[in-house]
Amino acid sequence: MFSRACQYAIRAAVLIALEGRNKRRMSLVEIAERTGSPRAFTAKVLQQLARAGILESTKGPNGGFDLPPAKAKKVKLSMVVKAIDGDQVYRGCGMGLPYCNPKKPCPLHDHFQEVRDELRDMLEGTDLHTLSLGLEKGKAFLKR
Amino acid sequence: MFSRACQYAIRAAVLIALEGRNKRRMSLVEIAERTGSPRAFTAKVLQQLARAGILESTKGPNGGFDLPPAKAKKVKLSMVVKAIDGDQVYRGCGMGLPYCNPKKPCPLHDHFQEVRDELRDMLEGTDLHTLSLGLEKGKAFLKR
DNA sequence: GACATTTCGGACAATCAGGTCCGTATTTTT
DNA sequence: AAAAATACGGACCTGATTGTCCGAAATGTC
């Protein structure tokens, strides 16, 4: 469904949103540790998110990545996914036909449309702040 | 969502089901042509489907791949997907956590569950025969 | 039996995704 | 000013995915 890079991005982004509520900035090392993701690779992913304007990065001692709650409420999951994987997963044709559309659909078009729409609605309707709430209550986890 | 191999598999399977209704057996060359898929690579994919028992292959002149309607009605899309990509896409965790479950969910678990269930229901509820009907009426297409 | 047609299967090549390493730039602390 | 902490970015490695090629095996036709 999503690439590994994208999965790491989501994990990291939710965690950063969580700590952003404590006005904390998170270092790469801490993020990688708490999400169980490979450090150097996660760095690349976080750079992509920062370049996409999804989160802020700061160099130097006490630097790291941060995302204040006000912004976390505005960042939808779809933005994270799009920044890493593009939007084919929730917009493209299930059979991979580049020209598939309602006028000239693939055989799977109608069946797949519902699934894709539900995925898109979910991604566009879920923000990082909301997801971080589940984490704080200890009802959800990022690592074994 | 699905790998290229899996997309080719679905396209080919639907086409073979379509021609199976005319008691026709399709050669690799014809399948690749009519689905716009690379020939040699499609051969590998079709072999996988044949080994998985999803369709029949016959060597020699007038050989090829076939799938009679009675069987096409029983082959669900989920079986094709599982044979090529495995079932992670409609069973696994959206964030890629291997231990994600209702007792210890990821932050996305509940949101994602609906989407995954809808995808799974669609794949398990759609058979190749049904998909081939759309093709025959000329309402759906496999190639530009 | 010879030949043509077709799938099968192994070897290989190319590209991409996942991941590491290390030096550089930036910022804070002392 | 020097040192330490941190993100940045490029080079590189590795394995998986995608894709090609070609000989072998099977089967139908003459």
Q: Compute how many other C-beta atoms are within 10 angstroms of the C-beta atom of residue B24.
A: 12
Domain containing A13 — which CATH number?
Answer: 1.10.10.10
pLDDT tens digits for range A88-118: 999 999 999 988 999 999 999 999 999 999 9
pLDDT tens digits for range A39-89: 999 999 999 999 999 999 999 999 999 999 999 999 999 999 999 999 999
| Confidence check: pLDDT of B81 > 90 | yes
Counted residue by residue, chain A has a size of 144
Half-sphere exposure for A62 (CA within 13 Å, toward CB) = 2
Give the CA-to-C1' distance from B42 to D19 in angstroms.
Answer: 10
By Cβ distance, the residue of B99, B118, B140 closest to A109 is B140
Q: How confident is the model at residue A144 (pLDDT cuts 50, 70, 90)?
A: confident
- What is the arithmetic mean of pLDDT over A2-6? 98
Classify residue B48 by burial, with Cβ atoms within 10 Å: 0-12, 13-18, 19+: middle
Give the CA-to-C1' distance from A25 to D2 in angstroms.
Answer: 26
- In angstroms, what separates the C-alpha of A107 from chain B's closest C-alpha? 5
Q: Compute how many other C-beta atoms are within 10 angstroms of the C-beta atom of residue B61.
A: 6
By Cβ distance, the residue of A96, A107, A131 closest to B140 is A107
Chain B partners of A99 at a C-beta cutoff of 8 Å?
144
- CB-to-strand C under 7 Å, chain B 40-59: 40, 43, 46-47, 50-51, 57-59
End-to-end CA distance of chain B: 21
The answer to whether residue B78 is domain-embedded is yes
The answer to whether residue B102 is domain-embedded is no
The answer to whether residue A144 is domain-embedded is no
Cα–Cα distance between A111 and B66 in angstroms, integer?
Answer: 24
CB contact set of B70 (below 8 Å; sequence gap of 6+): none
The answer to whether residue B34 is domain-embedded is yes
The answer to whether B8 CB sits below 7 Å from nucleic acid chain D is yes
Q: Which ipTM did the prediction report?
A: 0.92
The answer to whether residue B39 is domain-embedded is yes
Residue B105: its pLDDT value, please? 96
By Cβ distance, the residue of B89, B105, B144 closest to A1 is B89
The answer to whether B43 CB sits below 7 Å from nucleic acid chain D is yes
- Please count the structural domains in chain A: 1
Partner-chain contact A111 B95, CB within 8 Å: no
CA distances to B18, B19, B29, B44 from B61, rounded to whole Å, are: 21, 18, 13, 20
The answer to whether residue A94 is domain-embedded is no
The answer to whether residue A70 is domain-embedded is yes
Partner-chain contact B96 A141, CB within 8 Å: no
Partner-chain contact A141 B106, CB within 8 Å: yes
Q: How confident is the model at residue B119 (pLDDT cuts 50, 70, 90)?
A: very high
Find the domain containing A75 and state its range: 4-85+127-136
